[in-house]
Structure 1
Amino acid sequence: MDELPIGRRVAYWRGRRRLSQQVFADRLGKSKSWVDKVERGVRRLDKFSVLHEIADVLQLDVQLLLGKDPERRTDTLNCIDQVEVEEIRAALERYDSMSAYFDARPEPRRLDEMRKSVSHAWLTYQYARYGVLTRALPKLLRDAQAADAAYLGGDESRTAAHLLGQVYQIASSTLRKLGEHELAWLAADRSMAVSQRADDPLLAGVATLRVGNALVALGRARPALEVNVNIANRLAPAPGVEASPQRWSVYGMLLLQGAMAAARLGDSATVRDLFNGAEEAARQVGDDQNHYWTSFGPTNLELHRAAAAVELGEGRQAVDTHEGIGPTEFNALLPERRAHHLLDVARGCAQIGDVARAGEFLVEGDRLAPSEIRCRPIAHEVMSDVLRRTRGAPPGQIAELAEHMGVGI
């Protein structure tokens, strides 16, 4: 980004904020032609007052427009910016284990400290604090990679690999949420490779979930379905043999993610079959649990059932499924799961033409986990649809949320 002309930087960040040239111009009090000339480099931006106005509208540090390193933000409602993307990319491009093969191994962090950091990162993800997480991920990735390289071949090798595999999974899930699908796939693929060295089939199973999710996001639903079902079959508890809740949880989540991929393909028969298998796994687990950070259980299964209905274009079924979920069970789930579900139900409402209720679900999801609504591209699409189809001015809460999201009214 540093080498780009300032007009190109303005265009880039305007695109990241999902603002059309007209909406951007209106917020600046300028004409669309003025914005177009700035972005094409025809008109120079040589007044700091104008630069600061542009930065305010784009909700970023003015230093980014000047091609300089910004002051680090501290609020939790920011999404991911190119600065974070490039830092995470750089961390993913490290090959510490290969370097350690030739040279002296670096001094790593203690594994008990790493374990605490990884657990904190998981909770940060499951509470949908994506702005905090994207700023922490580059260092966490570097630390986990260094530990994996340093302990390679030693007594703690499997533990270090397990932690690195988890960090790759956290990175993959976060990047996918924020629309960085190629990087999400890379991190998930790394997780699968490392999980094999950790010698933990369940960790490898969860890594498969991340790969499948990234493939679906990339428009590759068929291979996503195949990989989820293939590994689910390998982890399926044998009939008559008692299995741990952890195994049932990972197995059940693989079936649910396979169902989501099948729904994307429009294969309702396969969706139904996979949900039948997941129901048995949920019965074995009992209440919703967070084994291997899956949040798997009967309630999460219903959330996926609603999401699959949306993918199949059956918005009414998605809404009906939501209304059948008990409030006590729903409120016991972590914020990311609940807000994600409310976004899915908003999509279902939009499918059946109930845009008013769709907007209400977006607002409710924003109260639970703002980043899940304000940072996800799919949420921006739903909000744009709500605004476009609302007659007259939208209700105040929806208009305010749209403003926060940068979606033009």
Structure 2
Amino acid sequence: MAAHRVGPCLSGAAPADGPAVRGALLIQAALAAAGRGDERAAGELLGRADEAARVAGPGGTDGGGFGGEGFGGGDSGGEGFGWAAVEAARVVAGSALGQVTAATVRHERLIAGDGWRWLPPEHRAAYLLDVARLYASAGDGLRAGRALLDAERTARGEVHDRPAARDLVGVVARSAAAPAALTRLAATLGVT
């Protein structure tokens, strides 16, 4: 796995060898493990990504995107890898593993915390698309709709320009519990 080849998490390492790149690779691997249903591997890899986030500290930089729609994560570096990125990955991994209740609780904690605002807007929006899928799979059309609307307000292009996001808007808009604003968005996108 590429995360093992990047090198140890040393705080004085060059950016290409640093904890942010290692952490981003670990997150990618964890999400792949979760997608395969390997809860143990996903948990271990996310634990190691969490360690990398602690080493990266508040000035961590982006090692790359991750998630179903390519969200990445950061902290006070404004564009980078950090605690919020790892927490967002834990939500997406939990969702993939069928841990819907735990994932939704973790999501609510994440967006209420300070780290959330440091994620780049496009990454927040892409993550919110993943969360909308989580809520939709749980049959919660209202929260799924709210997540989609938040994603659209955060980074319009992530919803308007991605076919998968447009399809999700159409599916959720057909829910009886969908917010009226989502129905209007679906009509604007031509996915009603």
Normalising by the smaller structure, the TM-score range is 0.7 to 0.9
The one-letter code of the counterpart of 1:338 is R
Partner of 2:49: 278
User: 2: CA distance between counterparts of 1:232 and 1:252?
Assistant: 8
Conserved 8 A contact 1:288-1:299: no
1:313 equivalent to 2:127? Answer no
Q: How large is the RMSD of aligned CA atoms in angstroms?
A: 2.1
User: 2: CA distance between counterparts of 1:354 and 1:264?
Assistant: 22
For structure 1, which runs of at least 5 residues remain unmatched after alignment? 1-229
Assess, with a 3 A threshold, how the Cα gap between structure 1 residues 318 and 245 changes in structure 2: closer, same or farther: farther
The one-letter code of the counterpart of 2:173 is L
> Which is worse superposed, 252-261 or 288-297?
288-297
- Note the 1:7-406 alignment, pairs <5 A: 230-237=1-8, 243-244=12-13, 246=15, 247-287=18-58, 289-292=60-63, 295-325=80-110, 326-390=112-176, 394-406=178-190
User: 1: CA distance between counterparts of 2:37 and 2:103?
Assistant: 15
Deviation at 1:290, TM superposition (A): 2.6
1:336-380: CA deviation from partner (whole Å, max 9, x where unpaired): 111111111111111221111110110111011011112223323
User: 1: CA distance between counterparts of 2:37 and 2:64?
Assistant: 28
Partner of 2:68: none
User: 2: CA distance between counterparts of 1:406 and 1:309?
Assistant: 32
Conserved 8 A contact 2:23-2:63: no
SS in 2 for 1:363: helix
SS in 2 for 1:287: helix
Conserved 8 A contact 1:313-1:351: no
1:145-196: CA deviation from partner (whole Å, max 9, x where unpaired): xxxxxxxxxxxxxxxxxxxxxxxxxxxxxxxxxxxxxxxxxxxxxxxxxxxx
Q: Which has the larger radius of gyration?
A: 1
User: 1: CA distance between counterparts of 2:174 and 2:55?
Assistant: 45
User: 2: CA distance between counterparts of 1:387 and 1:356?
Assistant: 9
The one-letter code of the counterpart of 2:13 is S
For structure 2, which runs of at least 5 residues remain unmatched after alignment? 66-79
Choose between structure 1 and 2 for higher RCO, CA contacts under 8 A separated by at least 6 residues. 2
Runs of 4+ in 1 over 6 A off after TM superposition: none
Partner of 2:77: none
TM-score (norm 2): 0.81
Conserved 8 A contact 2:21-2:64: no
Conserved 8 A contact 2:11-2:55: no
The one-letter code of the counterpart of 2:88 is L
User: 2: CA distance between counterparts of 1:288 and 1:363?
Assistant: 30
SS in 2 for 1:236: coil
SS in 1 for 2:185: helix
Assess, with a 3 A threshold, how the Cα gap between structure 1 residues 293 and 272 changes in structure 2: closer, same or farther: closer
Identity of aligned residues (%): 35
TM-score (norm 1): 0.40
Assess, with a 3 A threshold, how the Cα gap between structure 1 residues 268 and 381 changes in structure 2: closer, same or farther: farther
Count of paired positions? 175
The one-letter code of the counterpart of 1:398 is L
User: 2: CA distance between counterparts of 1:285 and 1:306?
Assistant: 21
1:173-229: CA deviation from partner (whole Å, max 9, x where unpaired): xxxxxxxxxxxxxxxxxxxxxxxxxxxxxxxxxxxxxxxxxxxxxxxxxxxxxxxxx
SS in 1 for 2:5: helix
The one-letter code of the counterpart of 1:399 is T
User: 2: CA distance between counterparts of 1:321 and 1:286?
Assistant: 21
Partner of 2:73: none
User: 1: CA distance between counterparts of 2:145 and 2:105?
Assistant: 17
